[in-house]
Amino acid sequence: MGHNHRDVVFIVLLGATIISGVIALILFLVDGSDIFGLPDTKYGMVFDAGSSHTSLYVYKWPADKTNDTGIVSQALSCDAEGPGISDYVNDLVNAGESLRPCMEKALALIPEDKHQETPTFLGATAGMRLLREKNSSQADRIFEEITKVLGQFPVNFQGAQILTGIDEASFGWITINYILETLVKYTFSGEWIQPSTAEMVGALDLGGASAQISFLPLGRIADPSTNAIFRLYGYNYSVYAHSYLCYGQNQMEKRLLERLVQTRTSEVVRNPCYHGGYEDTLSLADLYDTPCVQSSQTSQPVQSLKVEGTGNPEACYSAVYSLFNFSACLGREDCTFDGIYQPQKHGQFYAFSGFYYTFHFLNLTDGQSLHTANETVWEFCQIPWKQVEASYPEEKQRLYAYCTNAMYILILLTSGYKFDDGTWSDIHFSKQVAGTDIGWTLGYMLNMTNMIPAEAPVLQRAESFSVWVAGVIFLALTIVMSIGSGVIYCFWSPD
């Protein structure tokens, strides 16, 4: 009988040991936070106050991974109703009120106990840069109204500011390389490595008032004003970054219209970039209400002019091309236009914002060749306006401008940034990567919250995790031994 008892005890101990071994293996292979719902989640918010509209982005990340890479994810995006904040100069109260619905939507998503600690920022770009140049007191009053409204919410609002052009360009570069994990990677063997710089990509951004380009050049940057210097994960980066103010889509269109107004031969302005049959009324007060457009007359004899589209892509190309001063480069290879320095570019580029939206509309975001892009734009611009309206009933607001914008993008990317038939395939027209919108906002938040460290991450988390696992295994084995001892005692203890 004792022999049978010992067999039973052996089986119990063996089973318990196997179970504890399985538990230990699971704990080694699975993050304890996946089992117990830890660690805590943190949130951050950034308003992108662009020239034509404002968007709010909510980001989240595990609290114990603040210094890791590729762990920030986008939890929400919200487009505020109405125009960009720079357009509220005569309606100051609504500059702030227009942001309220997106804030309420964001706070409904973020757990209430996280509201007070959620860092919240508002960054304004070229629209406000132009307004500050035109009337700095108006820009200040808009920010005051925004601060008044956002300050009413129970968040850690850290103020509103105007980004410089080089900041807007370089934060876009940080964003795309961060979410692609080309800054630093954590390997399966548990080591942090710096990927080859050849894996890093450039950023092409197109807004309503400005256009940005940023990339990591092969050699040194000759013009210090275009050199954005970062120390990220223990490595130094010298990024070429430039913002072309007045070269955003809306300001480019105004500059084009102003040129057509000045060269018209009648009271009707004929625009070759508008579809044949399109008609509109052009307010001269609105046209000249920007530092990007300089009036050649002290006073306008008329308040508005009629505009008619002619749908002529060849004439459209010539008219848009004339907005660039290519002769200012004097034949230099390291120059784009208007005398602006640009080192030799290389590698892959992600084109987002206006680049993506315009080419997505034309179904040109799937790797089509430059020849196909040119052909598509040319054909689209020649379609009569009534046919365009009937074909795209949901695109009423900016439908008339797609031909102009597409022609402009072609000229900017080829004659300006010098992409050609061979390098056109290096451009990826994208809105998101891994569920995160591409833009400057994520890079801005990472910078403002110091979530990208200057030094390489250390393995503190891995070490602490190993200690935790060892403790759990020790506890499991202690339980097993206790069970075994109890069983032995029950079977062999005297009556």
pTM score of the predicted model? 0.83
**Residue-level pLDDT, tens digit, the chain, 495 residues:** 555 666 655 565 566 666 655 565 555 555 444 444 446 889 999 999 999 999 999 999 887 654 444 468 899 999 999 999 999 999 999 999 999 999 999 999 999 999 999 999 999 999 999 999 999 999 999 999 999 999 999 999 999 999 999 999 999 999 999 999 898 777 777 677 788 888 999 999 999 999 999 999 999 999 999 999 988 877 889 999 999 999 999 999 999 999 999 999 888 999 999 999 999 999 999 999 999 998 765 455 678 999 999 999 999 999 999 999 999 999 899 999 999 999 999 999 999 999 999 999 999 999 999 999 999 999 999 999 999 999 999 888 889 999 999 999 999 999 999 999 999 999 999 999 989 999 999 999 988 887 777 666 654 444 444 444 545 555 555 555 555 555 444 545 554
pLDDT recorded at residue 136: 96
Could you give the residue ranges of the DSSP H alpha helices within 275-401? 284-287, 313-321, 354-361, 370-381, 385-391
Peptide bond into 39 cis (omega under 30): yes
Give the dihedral sign, CA 233/236/242/243. Answer: positive
Neighbours of 36 (CB within 10 A): 8
Instruction: Based on the fold, state whether residues 353 and 412 are members of the same structural domain.
Output: yes
- Separation CA 173–CA 230 (nearest Å): 11
Q: Do strands 349-353 and 202-206 pair parallel, antiparallel, or not at all (unpaired)? A: parallel
Instruction: For the chain, give percent helix, strand, coil, nearest 5.
Output: 45, 20, 35
Residue 483: which domain range?
2-30+470-492
Enumerate the β-bridge partners of residue 212: 205, 243
Per the structure, the count of domains in the chain is 3
Q: Find, among 60, 51, 149, 138, the residue nearest to 102 by Cα.
A: 149
* CB contact at 8 A, 198 and 215: no
Residue 178 lies in a domain: yes
- Separation CA 134–CA 292 (nearest Å): 10
Instruction: Based on the fold, state whether residues 203 and 286 are members of the same structural domain.
Output: no
Instruction: Based on the fold, state whether residues 255 and 226 are members of the same structural domain.
Output: no
Residues 26-57: pLDDT tens digits? 555 554 444 444 468 899 999 999 999 999 99
Enumerate the β-bridge partners of residue 335: 341
* CB contact at 8 A, 195 and 187: no
pLDDT recorded at residue 465: 45
Instruction: Based on the fold, state whether residues 234 and 135 are members of the same structural domain.
Output: yes
> What is the torsion angle, in degrees rounded to the nearest 10, for the CA atoms of residue 481, residue 487, residue 488 and residue 492?
160
Instruction: Based on the fold, state whether residues 267 and 409 are members of the same structural domain.
Output: yes
pLDDT recorded at residue 162: 97
Instruction: Based on the fold, state whether residues 163 and 24 are members of the same structural domain.
Output: no
174: CB partners within 8 A, 6+ apart:
183, 230, 232, 442, 443, 446, 447, 452
pLDDT recorded at residue 69: 41
pLDDT recorded at residue 153: 97
Take residue 245 and report the two structure tokens written for it. Answer: 């103010």
- Separation CA 454–CA 356 (nearest Å): 32
pLDDT recorded at residue 183: 84
- Separation CA 232–CA 453 (nearest Å): 6
Per-position DSSP letters for 285-310, written without gaps between them: HHHTSSTTS--SSSS-S-SEEEEEE-
Instruction: Based on the fold, state whether residues 174 and 309 are members of the same structural domain.
Output: no
Residues identified as active-site: 168
pLDDT recorded at residue 482: 54
Residue 459 lies in a domain: no
Instruction: Write down the mean pLDDT value for the chain.
Output: 86
Residue 455 lies in a domain: no
Instruction: Based on the fold, state whether residues 54 and 134 are members of the same structural domain.
Output: yes
pLDDT recorded at residue 459: 45
